Amino acid sequence: MDIYLLKIKNISKSFINFFKINPHKHWQFLLYIFFILVSLLIIFSLYLLREINHERVFQVNTDQTTKKNLLKEDILKKVLNVSEIKEKRKFEIINSSSYKDPSI
């Protein structure tokens, strides 16, 4: 019985001694905690990478029937017409002999 009580007393002393200021023990404790956290984060990131590689996570299923047409045909044709008109006008200006350079 005395041995058991001595063990309990020693455990309580070691627990109390941990909270006394000892920079070496505290740095060592912090180092172990951060090492464990970093290793867990690496393992979790590898797990996520594997799941994404096998297309099990973060996949959005879209129905092709409900997909809307984002481009309006008439507006697209108007834009193309305007660009064609500008291109023709540019070609006319470049090839015409009556064009004078304003910098001269």
Q: Write the pLDDT tens digit of every residue in 57-79.
A: 766 666 666 666 677 888 889 99
User: Residue 85 corresponds to which tokens in the numbers above?
Assistant: 């008109």
18 within a domain of the structure (yes/no): yes
pTM for the full model? 0.39
Q: Domain range spanning residue 39?
A: 2-58+69-95
63 within a domain of the structure (yes/no): no
| Dist CA 86 CA 92 (whole Å) | 10
pLDDT of 30: 92
| Dist CA 95 CA 89 (whole Å) | 10
Largest CA-CA distance found in the chain, in angstroms, rounded: 117
Q: What is the DSSP letter of 103?
A: T
53 within a domain of the structure (yes/no): yes
